[in-house]
Amino acid sequence: MNDQLTQTIIKMAKAAKVASYQMSLVSTKDKNMALLKMAKALIANQKYLISENKKDLAAAQKENYSKALIDRLTLNEKTIKGMAQCLVETAGLKDPVGELLRTIKRPNGLLIKKVRTPIGVVGIIYESRPNVTSDCIGLCLKSSNAVILKGGREAFYSNNAIFTVLKNVLKKTKISAEAIQLVGVTDREAVNILLKQDEFVDVIVPRGGEDLIRFVVENSTIPVIKHAKGLCTIYVSDKADLKMAEKICFNAKVQKPGVCNAMETMLVNAKVAKRFLPLMIKEFHAAGVEVRGCERTRTILKGHVKQATDQDFDTEFLDLILAVKVIDSLKDAIDHINTHGSHHSDAIVTKDKKEAEAFLKSVDSASLYVNASTRFTDGYEFGFGAEVGISTDKLHARGPMGLEELTTYKYLVYGKGQIRT
Amino acid sequence: MNDQLTQTIIKMAKAAKVASYQMSLVSTKDKNMALLKMAKALIANQKYLISENKKDLAAAQKENYSKALIDRLTLNEKTIKGMAQCLVETAGLKDPVGELLRTIKRPNGLLIKKVRTPIGVVGIIYESRPNVTSDCIGLCLKSSNAVILKGGREAFYSNNAIFTVLKNVLKKTKISAEAIQLVGVTDREAVNILLKQDEFVDVIVPRGGEDLIRFVVENSTIPVIKHAKGLCTIYVSDKADLKMAEKICFNAKVQKPGVCNAMETMLVNAKVAKRFLPLMIKEFHAAGVEVRGCERTRTILKGHVKQATDQDFDTEFLDLILAVKVIDSLKDAIDHINTHGSHHSDAIVTKDKKEAEAFLKSVDSASLYVNASTRFTDGYEFGFGAEVGISTDKLHARGPMGLEELTTYKYLVYGKGQIRT
């Protein structure tokens, strides 16, 4: 390993740890004031941010990045206003730290309080969107955590600029400026070194493509909360209101196809497939969706759709592409989703309450919908406010990961000299 | 890697995953009935269990294992009765699965229920004590999880025997016998293979020495909840009731020195050290405790204790050995514990409530005590019942890990055709 880089990152992680202990003593008022000042500073420095962002955009164009990626990378007045707004909203959220979760009185007189506390040092590894830099700084500070950020190469200048603006604000507040850290190098070795700092870093949150997630999972000695893919499925039951199913499936596929809660696979019960599919697929085609169907789908549609491969049912397209399968039962739907889905968000459209409950009980996903679009899996839509992302893990945080999920707890035990006998 | 072993373990993990989906549908009554039958079967088969255990004991004696280890390994009528009792108690605990944790109504009419669900497949890797085999099977089944166990080489015959008895019971119940699995080989390669089955296993719980924990953390691609060391510290403040401090410190060190919640380091405020230390150390010496003191401790005790090395303050002795340091302030105590402790259980003895609150707020440990012995960190003592162990991690489960900590949650979203705009 690169010795100098290792030393730099260890120093950073140690400083973050020390700052995290100070963070646990900062008042809600002081945290909120810092967030509001940060929001103002982003707006005040927008010319600087946009000019630094142009360097990233120039490089992206040179490397022929996709339009979608360039969109995500772009900073302008509107996106900067959005970042500032997120900090203001985070300031307005309830402070989770110190919340009393449970009180236990024991026969021996011990009083046990379970209270919510910060996690400590949160490492976030992410790709493209520079707004993640300020969103995550805001959420981590509000939950009294120190944070170490490692953004993607493609947003190098933008992330550094946002970070510099926010760090300068912090220097003028009661919060230690060491509470926020940015690994400002593009080297992937830096990620690998960071992933080994289990003495100082309490959790790693990777947000990005499958390669990044896999790299983190295979190399981290720090606990990881994955923000991986969303292969979301909707099952149209034979007991569905087909008009409703049509609207829901169209929305889940078309409204914003590049996001993790968009539908990638549509399962249709054979009993209604002949009625449901022709019109539905016509709508999809009109919206520019490429439909890839199973044999039975193709028979019903007389070959007017592409043949789906096995792999299509395991793919998060993040695009106007949809895999469609005709199946025979609720059980087949449950088995298909548990086997091929990514346990993110899945839905059933049915009028039968018993069937809905069986689906909810048996499908092993973070968010399950009855008669609604999967597109609602999101911190704001759930009423939690801003989020670090959508966890696809089962431990600690599942689904939208907001302020509460950035906390842990400890047990405070009050005694009067009790000893164990 | 060993191909045949790999295939065996993948098959086991897959079978556990399939069983875990069935488990989520088993009723509380059926789970409890299975646990009670298991308890009876342990008692009915005690001769077989004891005779298999003798094979392990013979090997242990041949390898000159310590008396403490042989004690932990031994099965007899009393320990088997204890194992059966644990299963009966687990049957009596409230079923955590299905608990409604939160209800959210959204302005768009969506109704969101956050409900407690099983984790799925739990992998437990442990050393010596064979009772862990039946305790963990009981807790995982009660929380509707499938479980894969990998016990230590030293308890090979005992673990296999307990497992066989319990598996035979399961075959005659409504629960799939595949819900419990034992990796019945002594090869450490088996652990390494198991740690890579992230497609099927949802969490790994390692219980054991530092080597085992380190091996798991470095090789697992599955999320890990560590059950590592307890380097517990008690700070005797200058505002302490010294009589109370004496009792608490004596209890925390002497009552059961080989456990993770025993005191390993004692910090004493300089203002009371001259009054407190001589009598306290006399008591420790009388109980056979080897005291290793800092320079100031030795000056006060006129050299009647060994010199502590730096390493002594980073050591979990698990024995009648204690490191003692004289310090100047609450701040020094907090810094010492946060730096040298293992974030398991720490205590302050003080009559000053403000000082106590500052300690509770600033020390970053799972369980913190005011005026009580650290020995109470334990699922039973907290009123949770049986436990998989004491987590030294911060994510998902911190401190005693019982039934609730063996669950996760999912969001059930009920709509009437809502789509995102």
Predicted complex ipTM:
0.95
Percent of chain A with pLDDT over 70: 100
Cα-Cα-Cα-Cα dihedral sign, residues B403, B406, B411, B414:
negative
Smallest Cβ–Cβ distance between B410 and the set A366, A371, A376 belongs to A366
Contact B413 A368 (CB under 8 A): yes
- Residues B203, B123 contacting (CB under 8 angstroms): yes
B94-115 burial: b if 16+ Cβ within 10 Å, else e? ebbbeeeeeeeeeeeebebbbb
Enumerate the residues of chain A whose CB falls inside 8 A of the CB of residue B370: 412-415
Reported residue count of chain B is 421
Interchain proximity B412–A360, CB inside 8 Å:
yes
Q: To which H or E segment does residue B23 belong?
A: helix B3-23
Look at B376 and A223 and tell me if their CB atoms are within 8 Å.
no
Restricting to A residues 292-311, those with a Cβ less than 8 Å away from any Cβ of B are none
Select from A112, A362, A399 the Cβ nearest to the Cβ of B25. A362
Residue A303 Rama label (left phi>0; alpha psi -120 to 50; beta): left
Please, which residues 317-356 of chain B have a Cβ atom closer than 8 Å to chain A? Answer: 338
A193 contact partners, CB below 8 Å, separation of at least 6: A1, A2, A5, A6, A9, A10
A232-376, CATH topology level: Aldehyde Dehydrogenase; Chain A, domain 2 (3.40.309)
- Contact call for A371 and B416, based on CB within 8 A: yes
The helix/strand/coil state of A213 is: helix
Q: Most B CBs within 10 Å: which of A112, A352, A413, A421, as the mutation test of the B interface? A: A413
Neighbour tally for A389: CB within 10 Å:
25
pTM reported for the whole predicted model: 0.95
* Element holding A29 (H helix, E strand): helix A28-44
Percent of residues in chain B assigned helix, strand, coil, to nearest 5: 45, 20, 30
CB contact under 8 A, B412 and A368: yes
CB contact under 8 A, B373 and A418: yes
| Joined tokens for residue B184 | 């019945």
Alpha carbon of A54: minimum distance to chain B alpha carbons (Å): 31
State the residue for tokens 């307990």. Answer: B162
Do the Cβ atoms of B364 and A411 come within 8 Å? no
Q: Which helix (DSSP H) or strand (DSSP E) does residue B105 occupy?
A: strand B100-105
The answer to whether B419 contacts A373, with C-beta atoms less than 8 Å apart, is: yes
Cβ <8 Å between A372 and B106? no
DSSP string, B114-153: EEEEE-SEEEEEE-S-THHHHHHHHHHHHTT-EEEEE--G
CB-nearest partner of A420 from B25, B104, B375: B375
Q: Best interface-test mutation with A: which of B121, B197, B217, B410 has the largest number of A CBs within 10 A?
A: B410
What pLDDT score does A168 carry?
98
Q: Measured between alpha carbons, how far is A228 from A206 in angstroms, rounded to an integer? A: 8
Rg (CA), chain B: 24
Q: Which residue has the tokens 């039968």?
A: A352
Q: Kindly report the nearest CA distance between residue B396 and chain A, in angstroms.
A: 4
Which of B361, B371, B410 is opposite residue A415, by nearest beta carbon?
B371
Our CA-based measurement puts residue B110 at a distance from the nearest CA of chain A, in whole angstroms, of 8
Minimum-distance CB partner of B410 among A21, A117, A367: A367
**DSSP assignment of A327-376:** ES-HHHHHHHHHHHS-SSEEEEE-S-HHHHHHHHHH---SEEEEEE-GGG
Q: Which residues 186-245 in chain B show a CB within 8 A of chain A?
A: 198, 202-203, 217-218, 221, 223-225, 241, 244
Predicted local confidence at residue B1, as pLDDT: 60
pLDDT of residue A128: 75
Residues B341/B232, Cβ–Cβ less than 8 Å = yes
Looking at the partner chain, which of A202, A396, A413 has a beta carbon nearest the beta carbon of B369?
A: A413
- B367 vs A contacts (CB less than 8 Å): 410-411, 413
Q: Which residues of B touch A218 (CB under 8 A)?
A: 221
> A-contacting residues of B 108-137, CB under 8 Å?
110, 112, 117, 119-120
* CB-CB under 8 Å, B217 with A360: no
Residues of chain B with CATH 3.40.309.10: 232-376
Cβ within 8 Å, pair B251-A419: yes
Contact A372 B414 (CB under 8 A): yes
Instruction: For residue A310, give the DSSP letter.
Output: G
Residues of B numbered 90-109 whose beta carbons fall under 8 angstroms of chain A's beta carbons: which are they?
104, 106
What residues of chain A lie within 8 A of the CB of B348, using their CB? none
Res. A277 pLDDT band, cuts 50 70 90? very high
A1: confidence class by pLDDT, cuts 50, 70, 90: low
Q: In sequence order, what DSSP letters do the residues of A78-145 get, joined into one string? A: HHHHHHHHHHHHHHHSPP-TT-EEEEEE-TTS-EEEEEEEE-SEEEEEE-S-THHHHHHHHHHHHTT-
Residue to mutate among B394, B398, B404, B407, with most A CBs inside 10 A, is B394
Q: CB–CB of B370 and A24 under 8 A?
A: no
Chain A residues close to B202, C-beta within 8 Å: 394-395
Q: Across the interface, do B419 and A247 touch by the CB < 8 Å criterion?
A: yes
Question: What is the pLDDT at residue B16?
Answer: 98
In chain B, what residues touch A355 (CB-CB under 8 Å)?
A: none
A372, B419: Cβ pair inside 8 Å?
A: yes
pLDDT digits (tens, 9 = 90+) for A347-376: 999 999 999 999 999 999 999 999 999 999
Per-residue pLDDT 10s for chain B (421 aa) are 679 999 999 999 999 999 999 998 999 999 999 999 999 999 999 999 999 999 999 999 999 988 888 988 999 999 999 999 999 999 999 999 999 999 999 999 999 999 999 999 999 999 878 999 999 999 999 999 999 999 999 999 999 999 999 999 999 999 999 999 999 887 889 999 999 999 999 999 999 888 999 999 999 999 999 998 999 999 999 999 999 999 999 999 999 998 999 999 999 999 999 999 999 999 999 999 999 999 999 999 998 999 999 999 999 999 999 999 999 999 999 999 999 999 999 999 999 999 999 999 999 999 999 999 999 999 999 999 889 999 999 999 999 999 999 999 999 999 999 999 9
Amino acid of residue B282: K
Domain with CATH 3.40.605.10 in chain A: 3-227+388-414
In three-state secondary structure terms, B233 is strand
Average pLDDT over residues A124-134: 92
Distances (CA, A) of A50 to A41, A42, A74, A163, B278: 14, 11, 8, 14, 68
Provide the token pair at B12: 């086991």
What's the mean pLDDT in A312-320? 96
CB-CB under 8 Å, B225 with A395 = yes
Interface test with A, best of B241, B412, B416 (most A CBs within 10 A): B412
Domain A3-227+388-414 has CATH 3.40.605.10: yes
Residues of B in contact with A354 (CB under 8 A): none
Chain B 353-372, CB below 8 Å of chain A: which residues? 360-362, 364-372
Contact B417 A248 (CB under 8 A): yes
**How many Å separate Cα B295 from the centre of its chain?**
35
Check CB contact of A14 with chain B, cutoff 8 Å. Answer: no
Nearest to A367 by CA among A351, A339, A347: A347
User: Going by C-beta distance under 8 Å and a sequence separation of 6 or more, which residues neighbour residue B66?
Assistant: none
Q: How many residues does chain A have?
A: 421
The 8-class DSSP code of residue B312 comes to G
With CA atoms as reference, report the closest residue to B344 among B248, B289, B404, B262. B262
